[in-house]
Structure 1
Amino acid sequence: MIVEIGHYALILALSLSLVQSVLPAIGARSGDARLMETATITATGGFVLLMLSFSALTAAYVTSDFSVLNVFENSHSLKPMLYKVTGVWGNHEGSMLLWVLILSLFGALVALFGRDLPASLKANVLAVQAWITACFLLFILTTSNPFTRVFPAPMEGQDLNPILQDIGLAIHPPLLYLGYVGFSIAFSFAVAALIDGRIDAAWARWVRPWTLTAWVFLTAGIAMGSYWAYYELGWGGWWFWDPVENASFMPWLSGTALLHSALVMEKRSALKIWTILLAILTFSLSLLGTFLVRSGVLTSVHAFATDPTRGVFILAILCLFIGGSLALFALRAPSLEAGGLFAPISREGALVVNNLFLTTATATVLVGTLYPLVLEVLGGAKISVGEPFFNLTFGPLMVPLLFAVPFGPLLAWKRGDLLAAAQRLYFAIGAAMLTILIAVALTSGTRILAALGFGLAVWLMVGALTDLFVRANFAKVGWRTGLARMRGLPRSAFGTVLAHFGLGVTVLGVITTSAFQTETVTAMRAGQTVNAGGYEVRYEGAQQRQGPNYEEQVGTFTLRRDGLDAGKIESAKRFYPARQMPTTEAGIHTSWFSQLYISLGDPSPDGASIVVRVWWKPLITLIWIGAIFMAVGGTVSLFDRRLRVGAPARSRKRQLAAGAEA
């Protein structure tokens, strides 16, 4: 019965979305407050219905109700409870339900916390959000119904993809969807502003917290996905330029540009056209990522579905929203004001340069991702665009951008002094140069590019801290007064410093791992040793173990360093009978920020030895620690008081002025 309730709730949610997509827009057009207010009721009601539907599917998984086709295909009665719950979104149908649930969540949040928004803007935003929701609900109900029954009900399920039976599935997809789908609010605000014809600094103040929220979740989601692939796939890499990885990376790059552009629009009422376009393009790239993952146009360990019918449906949604929003933008663009003027050397100018590099980098990744698909469609030729292409195109774009990052916060608005900013960065310059010299000396001049990379990372980190030092004015007022001034700085200042510092930390991890990691591949017998990263790794042998729904062969390795015991690593090869699939479970030993990574290969025919891959990855954890810094920085900025006031105050002032005139 609970399954039918969930299905019925989906249908009701579609009905409410259709109402929400029409009545508020009509009310905004005619000035009817009652029609506009229906958006709040329908948005919250739709979220409640979708939560009920999602809960019903979760209940079916928890109770192993194999009469539901989706549960039968993706669960098993012996599967641990955690993976029964996470299996809800470990498949195409369930993940789409989570996708649209998060979509409705953001709409409900705007409805509940957007009380001070201008009524017409709020109504149009929620109407646009409902258009997206209705289209995806129609997609779910017609092509991807998670509540389809199967008769007679099987006694046992087919189990979840073994790669997905990991704690990473509980964290990565929800975080990624909160980022992916969160940009829909920025899109809805942009389209609503184009419909309403009202684009000003107050609009930017309203859209920036939603954009920042989505960016924080997407940053965390990408980092978690990277670490998940790193330890779960057994390949020893943290990024592969996989098309589906790129599909989440492109909205992140574009969303980062949108954040900076919205800041300029809020502070200086400039870059209005640029900000609106970025809001449209960022969510368009999120929709493109959804199409790539679920259309079957590419093969990837990340891809959910291979049904062409679903791909055509999502492609139609893609064309509708991307084409429609860009057409509306083209129609309205001539009437939009460009905004305030500023000198090329200014904080606005630095943010424009930042956005140009980020959008160019996004376009580069987009071309590298789609070119093989387009070539296959046009000529039938199959090629792959991999790491060499992206390293040669994306890397050179990032270097000048990263070099420019510390300058931006130190330049004045409207007209800045580049020399004065450089003088404030003397200590950062000195620290970077010293780092380069030390790196060159330690490597005997054989790793010049790596040394330059270290210098760039230190430049970013010390440059970020310099911004805080300058804001508190320690040089003039002293440490005690400076600390008091620093405590009084807005939270967004600390958020910016944390995000830029985290970027430097990630760059340091990437450079160190790429330049100095070692890999050893050898066949080992029990008792044999191999050296890696200063460790003596001894293979102690393998043993069979039985898991709840898998069998595994576990290899045990003992570690010694400087003649002392340094721990133990267990690495395994698992086999899942229900799916008839093997997986590799890497063994990882972490020492400070570095890791020793061991992955098992195939055993010899006589079983006496086994192929072992041993990687030493210096400072690799800094890659994800830097991402955590960035996400925390964004979160700190969200608590800035200026993101919660200002636009509402302007709205009230306008209302009072309008009342006085009346």
Structure 2
Amino acid sequence: MLIQMIPEIGHFALILALLMALVQALMPLAGAATRRPLWMAYARPMAAGQFGFVLLAFLCLSASYLLDDFSVANVANNSNSLLPWYYKVSAVWGNHEGSMLLWILMLAGWSFAVACFSRDLPEAMLARVLGIMGLISIGFLAFILITSNPFERLLPNVPGDGADLNPLLQDFGLIIHPPTLYMGYVGFSVVFAFAIAALLGGRLDAAWTRWARPWTNIAWAFLTVGIALGSWWAYYELGWGGWWFWDPVENASLLPWLAGTALIHSLAVTEKRGAFKSWTVLLAISTFSLSLLGTFLVRSGVLTSVHAFANDPSRGFFILMLLGVTVGLSLLVFALRAPRVSHAVGFNWLSRDALLLINNILLIIMTVTVLLGTVYPLLLDALGMGKISVGPPYFNALFVPLTVVLCLFMGLGPVSRWKRMATGELWRRLALAGLAALVIGILAPLLYGGEWNLWVSLGLVSALWLVLPILRDLYDKSRKTGLRRLSLAYWGMVLGHLGVAVTIVGVAVVSNYSVERNVRLAPGDSVQVAGYEFAMTDLQARRGPNFLADTATFEVRREGATRSFTMAPEKRLYLARGMPMTQVALRPGLFRDLYVAMGEDLEDGSWAIRIQYKPFVRWLWLGGLLMAAGGVLAVADRRYRRRRATAPAGKEALA
């Protein structure tokens, strides 16, 4: 009997979570405004209770999937009795309703984490932060209960089996990519809440940025890994061999990442120098707003994408209203409070302050560029002004030059000084590094098969310009103080910039030196691609747990080598949906990937085969991991482990 009531228990848990979110939002905010400690004390237990009930609801939906309860519409539409158990678990968030429940679970989890790990914050500040996060939870809990109930029943017409999970999503990527990406998306709600709380409290000085920076870095690290995982998943799952398609939903995750990158650097300036106070708050608002915009684009039904959940447009209108209210109210608070609490801090235009400001401006220009290319076609269509398509040519033509200019200033930043710096000193630090980057970047492509490429050289020069000045700075610091005395935040910066350089090298090389052949092969045939011989030796049919597959076996040997290795791509037919899928065969390596995908059966015993040679493609995702590691390492810096931030006297000691 209890098992049959699991969906009702989950639904009731969401209702209780909404009630707790109401208390979490209203009581602490009112208590902070009226200075009533008892009301403010509601913040922590309500955040914990809300997280507990949302977690219970999530576990109930997971149990419905694992128990094959096809009386639940969500389970019947996205699972099947033949589906392996691990895909049943990931199918929980492989649909609109379940992914929204995961989104809300992440939001409740971030609130609970702030309640647990921010005990040294002034009570009023913590009350405001958790109260604002409670307001966000109210909106999304109301959304899921009103428009997207994951526990809706199909009684009495219960199907005998489910429709199965989309074969595109029956992959390890679904297990790890959405949770990681959502942790980044939702994590920016914390810095948003800190920024609005600081505005409401009347103080925009260094303390709120010191409290917010660790949360921001962690959220940015999760989003970085999530984007990298999404690129990796698309690369091997879709069968095209591409790593970024400028798909609108891909762009939706890139937008908050770009704004979040600017926010991280702006927080550093505000904490260190007390500058960019209003700019930092505006970036915090913009970054979380772009996260909400991404949620709207994916779930509104306005996009056609392999990544999107095309649903009832009324759901999209609800999220659009949430976005409008969040952005509108936060900008209203900013307009009313920022002029009263912000103060200008001077700096010379040849200083780290100025260079970081220029970097921020460039990152925002890049953000606006991607935003316009993504949203403008949708606006034209909505206004009945026709349909246009904005694709890679637009994004590459604008984004690539901006990235090169950004790298120029990124290379200057780590070796510059705060407030002001002599031109001669900066020249002495950078002249040798700049010359070496130019020479190596121009000559290195000649070593790659003797083929010189302008774009590869430009990418290598940009990457070396990021790395060599940092190496010079490390050398100078090791002579003065020793490397052991450098802070973890500094090492995090080094890793982050190194990750950007590694990614740029990967993008430049794989985009210009890839080799692709589309061939017709049957068992016994072979073909030469990029110095490798691919010989099809066998073709067999096999049955999987919920699919039928044709598997081709290739013996692959490099020219001049005596040893060979096997690659086995598949063409699958998933039984429940009757949907064909390509299962790519990969031979990964640090400096190249070999990529084999089966196309169509040509009915004479031969198959259409796509074979690709992808040099340095792994550097794309290695760079993302290095960037994320840099963000996490910066959080471990000792100044964020202090028991209490030093705060000046004030009615709330908001430091």
User: Would you say same fold, with TM above 0.5?
Assistant: yes
Distance (Å, rounded) in 2 between the aligned partners of 1:36 and 1:133: 18
The residue aligned with 2:417 is 412
Q: Which of the numbers 517, 533, 537 marks the counterpart of 1:536?
A: 533
The residue aligned with 1:44 is 48
Structure 1 pair 46–430 and aligned structure 2 pair: CA distance change class (3 A): same
Q: Give the letter for the 1:572 counterpart.
A: E
Native 8 Å contact 1:461 1:505 kept in 2: no
Native 8 Å contact 2:446 2:452 kept in 1: no
SS of the aligned residue for 1:526 comes to coil
Q: Give the letter for the 2:421 counterpart.
A: G
Q: Give the letter for the 1:540 counterpart.
A: T
1:418 is displaced (CA, Å) by 4.1
Q: Which of the numbers 215, 218, 222 marks the counterpart of 2:220?
A: 215
The residue aligned with 1:519 is 516
Q: TM-score, normalised by structure 1?
A: 0.95
Distance (Å, rounded) in 1 between the aligned partners of 2:172 and 2:315: 28
Q: Identity over the aligned pairs, expressed in percent?
A: 50
SS of the aligned residue for 2:307 comes to coil
Greater Cα offset, 460-469 or 517-526: 460-469
Following superposition of structure 1 onto structure 2, how do residues 472-491 of structure 1 map, counting pairs within 5 Å?
472-473=478-479, 485-491=482-488
Q: Which of the numbers 460, 466, 471 marks the counterpart of 2:472?
A: 466
Greater Cα offset, 376-385 or 314-323: 376-385
Residue-by-residue CA offset, 1:142-169 (whole Å, 9 max, x unaligned): 1111111112332211111111111111
Greater Cα offset, 444-453 or 212-221: 444-453
Native 8 Å contact 1:533 1:596 kept in 2: no
Native 8 Å contact 1:461 1:502 kept in 2: no
Q: Which of the numbers 77, 82, 100 marks the counterpart of 1:73?
A: 77
1:523 is displaced (CA, Å) by 1.2
1:655 is displaced (CA, Å) by 8.1
1:459 is displaced (CA, Å) by 2.2
Q: Does 1:60 align with 2:57?
A: no
SS of the aligned residue for 2:383 comes to helix
SS of the aligned residue for 2:594 comes to strand
Following superposition of structure 1 onto structure 2, how do residues 173-184 of structure 1 map, counting pairs within 5 Å?
173-184=178-189
1:445 is displaced (CA, Å) by 7.0
Distance (Å, rounded) in 2 between the aligned partners of 1:592 and 1:261: 34
Q: Does 1:392 align with 2:388?
A: no
Structure 1 pair 380–565 and aligned structure 2 pair: CA distance change class (3 A): farther
Native 8 Å contact 1:345 1:416 kept in 2: yes
SS of the aligned residue for 1:554 comes to strand
Residue-by-residue CA offset, 1:412-454 (whole Å, 9 max, x unaligned): 1111234423422344324312323423544767412322222
The residue aligned with 2:298 is 293
Native 8 Å contact 1:407 1:422 kept in 2: no
The residue aligned with 2:639 is 642
Native 8 Å contact 1:234 1:585 kept in 2: yes
Distance (Å, rounded) in 1 between the aligned partners of 2:31 and 2:399: 47
The residue aligned with 2:342 is 337
Native 8 Å contact 2:429 2:469 kept in 1: no
The residue aligned with 2:20 is 16
Residue-by-residue CA offset, 1:171-203 (whole Å, 9 max, x unaligned): 100100000000001111111122222211011
Q: Which of the numbers 571, 574, 577 marks the counterpart of 1:573?
A: 571
Q: Which of the numbers 314, 325, 328 marks the counterpart of 1:323?
A: 328
1:380 is displaced (CA, Å) by 4.2
Greater Cα offset, 440-449 or 67-76: 440-449
The residue aligned with 2:630 is 633
1:467 is displaced (CA, Å) by 3.0
Q: Give the letter for the 2:292 counterpart.
A: L
Q: Which of the numbers 189, 194, 215 marks the counterpart of 1:189?
A: 194
Following superposition of structure 1 onto structure 2, how do residues 225-624 of structure 1 map, counting pairs within 5 Å?
225-439=230-444, 441-442=446-447, 446-473=452-479, 485-561=482-558, 562-604=560-602, 606-624=603-621
Distance (Å, rounded) in 2 between the aligned partners of 1:440 and 1:511: 11
Distance (Å, rounded) in 2 between the aligned partners of 1:69 and 1:114: 40
Residue-by-residue CA offset, 1:628-653 (whole Å, 9 max, x unaligned): 1111111111100112338x2324x6
Q: Give the letter for the 1:609 counterpart.
A: S
Q: Give the letter for the 2:67 counterpart.
A: T
SS of the aligned residue for 2:458 comes to helix
Greater Cα offset, 72-81 or 225-234: 72-81
Q: Give the letter for the 2:577 counterpart.
A: R
SS of the aligned residue for 1:379 comes to coil
Distance (Å, rounded) in 2 between the aligned partners of 1:222 and 1:441: 32
Residue-by-residue CA offset, 1:525-571 (whole Å, 9 max, x unaligned): 22222222211111223211100011111111110112423311111
1:462 is displaced (CA, Å) by 2.6
Distance (Å, rounded) in 1 between the aligned partners of 2:567 and 2:344: 60
Greater Cα offset, 218-227 or 322-331: 322-331
Greater Cα offset, 265-274 or 148-157: 148-157
Distance (Å, rounded) in 2 between the aligned partners of 1:657 and 1:619: 53
Q: Which of the numbers 91, 95, 98 marks the counterpart of 2:102?
A: 98
1:323 is displaced (CA, Å) by 1.3
Greater Cα offset, 342-351 or 555-564: 555-564
Native 8 Å contact 1:424 1:470 kept in 2: no
Q: Give the letter for the 1:627 counterpart.
A: G
Unaligned segments of structure 2, at least 5 residues: none
Distance (Å, rounded) in 2 between the aligned partners of 1:591 and 1:334: 54
Greater Cα offset, 398-407 or 441-450: 441-450
Following superposition of structure 1 onto structure 2, how do residues 27-176 of structure 1 map, counting pairs within 5 Å?
27-152=31-156, 153-176=158-181
Native 8 Å contact 2:203 2:341 kept in 1: no
Q: Give the letter for the 2:69 counterpart.
A: D
Query: How many aligned residue pairs are there?
Result: 646
Distance (Å, rounded) in 1 between the aligned partners of 2:451 and 2:73: 62
- What RMSD, in angstroms, separates the aligned Cα atoms of the two structures? 1.7
Native 8 Å contact 2:122 2:652 kept in 1: no
Native 8 Å contact 1:411 1:418 kept in 2: no
Native 8 Å contact 1:190 1:279 kept in 2: yes
Unaligned segments of structure 1, at least 5 residues: none
Distance (Å, rounded) in 2 between the aligned partners of 1:80 and 1:286: 32
Structure 1 pair 534–26 and aligned structure 2 pair: CA distance change class (3 A): same
Q: Does 1:202 align with 2:198?
A: no
Structure 1 pair 418–106 and aligned structure 2 pair: CA distance change class (3 A): farther
Native 8 Å contact 1:465 1:497 kept in 2: no
Native 8 Å contact 2:77 2:164 kept in 1: yes
Native 8 Å contact 2:31 2:40 kept in 1: yes
Distance (Å, rounded) in 2 between the aligned partners of 1:501 and 1:340: 30
Native 8 Å contact 1:411 1:417 kept in 2: no
Distance (Å, rounded) in 2 between the aligned partners of 1:241 and 1:99: 24
Native 8 Å contact 2:551 2:570 kept in 1: yes
Structure 1 pair 607–422 and aligned structure 2 pair: CA distance change class (3 A): farther
Distance (Å, rounded) in 2 between the aligned partners of 1:306 and 1:60: 22
SS of the aligned residue for 1:296 comes to coil
SS of the aligned residue for 1:319 comes to helix
